[in-house]
Amino acid sequence: MKMRKGLVIILPVLLLGVLILLKHEERTPDSTQNQPVVQISLADLGTIPDWRELDRFQNTLSRTTFLDRLQTIYTKYDSWKKWITIHSDHALILTHDTHYRLNFSSQELPVLPSKSFSKLHIALDPGHIGGDFAEMEERHLLYGDHPPIQEGSMTLATAKILQKLLTKEGARVSLIREDESPVTTASPSDFNNARLFYRTAEIRARAKLVNETLKPDLIICLHYNASGSPVPTPGQHYHALINGAYHESELAHEDERFQMLHRLLSRYSEIEVPVAAAISHQFTEEVGLPPFQYQPDHPYSVNIGDNEALWARNLLANRLYQCPVVFLEPYVMNSTEFIARYKEDPEAIYHEYANAVITGLKSYFKTNEFLFTHRRSRLPRL
Ligand SMILES: [Zn+2]
């Protein structure tokens, strides 16, 4: 009887235990489903950043300067607040698994050592590839009986003239590419979409060359602009770009978020803005190209200061090159004026372009010291 009584008591307890265990087993997958899913969102061919590379910028920028540059250069709307929270003495930046804490400085950095023009290492980036790749790049125009207008070939010709002029002034000059072939060792057949070859893999290969081998003080990206018109129309213009205006869809990529902060904290804009302004003055006032205006509601551009010709945009090249980058977009290759000049004497256009850049650079270096925010050896590599 005693044993039976015991079983009567023990059995329901065991059953209850089994039920609880089963219930728990059932609940376990449910509870993981409710936990936030860790998703790493990256740009095309991007890699996860090492946030510790920002450690060297701890306590270097004040809250006021950080916020001012974030809101006037690097972003256009408030969507950055999804990933960056500003506190009184630090910012918290959301990463895929945690937050990165960036401490603000209680005072601004002092003026840093300067470098003269003659000791400067400038890299010239002839935009696109040109030659056999021009058609694939959609940078090949042909209107009647003249050699094709190929942006990648023209930027290379311009860069070689500018290289000679800068070298004569004593600067050390590197060309990011020397001929009409890609820097990347990849080929178009490696990708489903050719754009990933000539836009993404190519620029990433150039960035590796710049950041790991060339390590210049300044890069000038040379481009020729074009309008969207299918037929030649009158009208040319000019604008210069620095890195900035990160869109919500770009900040959602962890690598782009990191690169934006890396550029902001490196204080590259302190050099990019005045250098771009000096070159822009030459193109708008001396060459006579009117400033190009993005529409005010254009979500991927920010006008810089009160300079009509100077804009921030987040392009792969001006984001990845780890030094100040000025990106030039003069002329309109499919305008009636440009086509007429090109038929007549393309070399004259390349010389005009190169002269505008060197005159602008010389005027900047005459009145400004080239300020280094950090010693190059301390710059992190992507
Ligand atoms: Zn271009």
- 210-245 pLDDT, tens digit each: 999 999 999 999 999 999 888 899 999 999 999 999
Name the residue ranges covered by the structural domains of the chain: 51-103, 114-378
Q: How far is the CA of 151 from the centre of ligand 1 (A)?
A: 7
Q: How far is the CA of 265 from the centre of ligand 1 (A)?
A: 28
pLDDT for residue 25 is more than 70: no
Q: Which of 113-117, 175-179, 192-196 has the highest mean pLDDT?
A: 175-179
How far is residue 17's CA from residue 23's CA, in Å, rounded to a whole number?
10
Q: How far is the CA of 70 from the centre of ligand 1 (A)?
A: 26
Q: How far is the CA of 275 from the centre of ligand 1 (A)?
A: 20
Q: Which two tokens mark 358?
A: 């060197």
pTM of the model: 0.85
Sign of CA dihedral 153, 357, 243, 53: positive
Per-chain mean pLDDT for the chain: 86
Surrounding residues of ion ligand 1, Cβ less than 5 A: 127, 223
Give the pLDDT confidence score for residue 350 in this predicted structure: 98
Q: How far is the CA of 77 from the centre of ligand 1 (A)?
A: 26
pLDDT for residue 359 is more than 60: yes
Q: How far is the CA of 327 from the centre of ligand 1 (A)?
A: 10
Give the pLDDT confidence score for residue 366 in this predicted structure: 76
Distance (Å) of CA 86 to CA 57, 92, 200: 16, 7, 33
281-322: pLDDT as tens digits: 999 999 999 999 999 899 999 999 889 999 999 999 999 999
Q: How far is the CA of 199 from the centre of ligand 1 (A)?
A: 11
User: pLDDT tier at 368 (50, 70, 90 boundaries)?
Assistant: low
Q: Rounded to an integer, what is the distance from CA 53 to the centroid of its chain?
A: 18
Q: How far is the CA of 273 from the centre of ligand 1 (A)?
A: 20
Rounded to an integer, the average pLDDT of 83-107 is: 96
Give the pLDDT confidence score for residue 364 in this predicted structure: 87
User: pLDDT tier at 111 (50, 70, 90 boundaries)?
Assistant: low
Does domain 114-378 fall under CATH 3.40.50.1370? My reply is no
Rounded to an integer, the average pLDDT of 372-377 is: 36
Give the pLDDT confidence score for residue 12 in this predicted structure: 47
Distance (Å) of CA 9 to CA 2, 18, 233: 11, 15, 95
In the chain, the percentage of residues whose pLDDT exceeds 90 is: 71
pLDDT for residue 249 is more than 60: yes
Rounded to an integer, the average pLDDT of 113-131 is: 84
